[in-house]
Amino acid sequence: MSDVDSQKDLYIYGRTVEISTKYEFIKVLGSGQYGKAHSARNLETGEVFAVKTINKSRFRFSDRKYQFDAMRNEIAITRALQHPNIITLFEVYENETDLHLVMELCQGGELFDRIKAKKQYSELQAQSVLRQIASALVCLHQNKIAHCDLKPDNFLFDGPNDDAKVKIIDFGMARALRRREYLKHLRGTPYYIAPEVLEGQYSEHCDMWSFGVVMFVMLFGFPPFHGNSDQEIFDSIRKGFQPEVKAGWGPWFPSALTVSTSAQDLIGRLLTKDPISRLSAEEVLDHPWIQGKDVPSHPLPLTVVSNLNNFIKKTRFTNEVLSYLTQNTMSTEEYLALARTFRFIDKNNDGTLSCEEFRQALQETENRPVNIEQLQKIVELADLDGDGTISWKELLLATTARRLAAKEDRLWASFKNIDLDGDGRLSVDELVQALNLPEETVRGMIQEVDIDGNGFVDYEEFLLILSDAQLDAVGGETDGGLGQINELVATPVLERGE
């Protein structure tokens, strides 16, 4: 292997001086699968930034090359964009183990969390936010960059004040396009995906459909396209949006919630199936509603915020606890067996498992026809981020979920493992220690699942969360669930097939 290849395998951006020579870390802002985010002070200027640290050692097996290439793409795109409503990446530092991205610090929270905190808001306030997002999209699309994952989670405010700027973040799925070039792979989050993305031929115009869905959710409090599974959501998207006022809740304007005619007109022009007929970002900026003409300033109905709370309620508790339990209940032998399975199924070595790759693996190991429809449901069950494939982490969580669901004794043992003082309930301190998350994050997670509102998670709440419905969402026993996938782990052919 040449020195160049060796460097490429070891570094994403390239070795730099140590970040500690330039910045002092202040506190942890959050953590995830691959690392943490800190606030950090520039030692020379005293200015405070956000530093996203990726621990490269957490990239496993075939995931590594894919993740390195994805990070290089994200860095290149983010550094190329300069706009007041797009997150700024200032510097990159890297050594053998860690990659550090120095970014502007946004302390105003996510879009929908901000709306929830306000209790009530108006069309005019929504217009102010959406105008800024549309302006950022003009910059993106003029540079022939498609974000491909516009959703409320990817909009942050730079400060807590009312006039704070909104910023588009997370360019992990973004792609730079050449003239008349189209993307083919499924990207995005189900509720917000454009119909042409589902058909496998799309460009930056997909972002404008997602923008229209975000606008609809902001004004009505629920998504226009919904269902009990990704496939049902996709089927609804393919049928399209009906720009008319009707009773009930669906891909139309609900008669129970009134917004201005101008807002309806803009949404209808955005949720147009034909990308050519759909408004561009520049055309959106010229629309009367975005320009603030005749936009009502009176508060939207309280029902909108209530709907919104129900829609965006997250399952952070479930995922974080399953991550912890995976580390503490899965044996080395089980982990390695699952890793062999992952590598065997991942034929194209892109670090994710597609439905087609599962079909090929099952066909090879069981030598019988595979029910594609059932297999698609299995993939949907474990697909937490909605990208249409199963990552290594998703397979780990789904496998752990299935093992726990098989016997309540395992759930009880897992609960006791976290319940350090043995009082039959999980406190903030116990979950902070177990999950290695900031106290503020843990308190928010507990609020989402604390049914009796006592500030703790007792065993009955834990059982409810980590058994029936929640486990179905991450790979439970429904329709055979991940049973077929887990059976692959025990198949000797897998080891012979490597």
Kindly state the average pLDDT of the residues 194-221. Answer: 95
Q: Could you give phi then psi for residue 146, rounded to 5 degrees?
A: -100, 125
- pLDDT reported for residue 38: 93
- Element holding 264 (H helix, E strand): helix 261-270
Whether 175 shows a pLDDT value over 50: the answer reads: yes
480: left (phi over 0), alpha (psi -120 to 50) or beta: left
- pLDDT reported for residue 475: 40
Q: In sequence order, what are the beta bridge partners of 100? A: 53, 93
pLDDT top residue among 4 and 277: 277
Kindly state the average pLDDT of the residues 253-268. Answer: 93
83/122 Cα distance (integer angstroms): 26
429-464 tens-digit pLDDT: 988 888 877 887 788 777 767 777 788 888 877 876
Say how many CA atoms lie within 13 Å of 384 toward its Cβ. 22
- pLDDT reported for residue 64: 75
- pLDDT reported for residue 21: 96
Of the residues 3, 63, 98, 149, only one is catalytic, namely 149
Pick from 201, 179, 213: which is nearest to 275 by CA? 201
Band of pLDDT at residue 414, cut at 50, 70 and 90: confident
Whether 320 shows a pLDDT value over 50: the answer reads: yes
Sequence-distant (6+) residues with CB within 8 A of 166 are: 85, 111, 129, 132, 133, 155, 156, 157, 158
- pLDDT reported for residue 471: 43
- pLDDT reported for residue 98: 92
235/440 Cα distance (integer angstroms): 38
Its sign, for the CA torsion 11, 12, 18, 24, is negative
Mean pLDDT of the chain: 81
In Å, what is the CA distance from 288 to each residue of 123, 131, 174, 340?
Answer: 13, 11, 29, 57
Residues 405, 469 contacting (CB under 8 angstroms): no
Residues 420, 430 contacting (CB under 8 angstroms): yes
Kindly state the average pLDDT of the residues 347-356. Answer: 81
Q: Could you give phi then psi for residue 292, rounded to 5 degrees?
A: 85, 15
Lowest-pLDDT range of 24-38, 260-274, 307-321: 307-321
* Burial degree of 76 (CB within 10 A; 0-12, 13-18, 19+): middle
80/138 Cα distance (integer angstroms): 14
- N-term to C-term CA, the chain: 22
Q: In sequence order, what are the beta bridge partners of 103? A: 50, 89
**Number of other residues whose CB lies within 10 A of the CB of residue 393:** 20
- 112-121, 286-295, 345-354: range with highest mean pLDDT: 286-295
52-61 tens-digit pLDDT: 998 888 776 5
84-137 tens-digit pLDDT: 999 999 999 999 999 999 999 999 988 888 887 776 778 999 999 999 999 999
- pLDDT reported for residue 367: 59
pTM of the model: 0.65
Band of pLDDT at residue 213, cut at 50, 70 and 90: very high
Per the annotation, the verdict on 149 as an active-site residue is yes
In Å, what is the CA distance from 343 to each residue of 351, 391, 474?
Answer: 8, 11, 21
Lowest-pLDDT range of 116-125, 178-187, 423-432: 116-125
377 three-state secondary structure: helix
465/460 Cα distance (integer angstroms): 9
Token pair 């997250």 is found at 314
495: left (phi over 0), alpha (psi -120 to 50) or beta: alpha
465-494 tens-digit pLDDT: 665 434 443 443 333 444 444 444 444 333
Domains of the chain by start residue, with CATH: 3-103 (3.30.200.20), 111-312 (1.10.510.10), 316-497 (1.10.238.10)
Lowest-pLDDT range of 20-24, 120-124, 143-147, 158-162: 120-124
Lowest-pLDDT range of 179-193, 283-297, 460-474, 479-493: 479-493
37 three-state secondary structure: strand
Q: In the 8-state DSSP scheme, what is residue 21?
A: G
Lowest-pLDDT range of 177-186, 197-206, 215-224, 334-343: 334-343
- pLDDT reported for residue 369: 62
- pLDDT reported for residue 337: 73
274/310 Cα distance (integer angstroms): 31
- pLDDT reported for residue 366: 56
pLDDT top residue among 322 and 88: 88
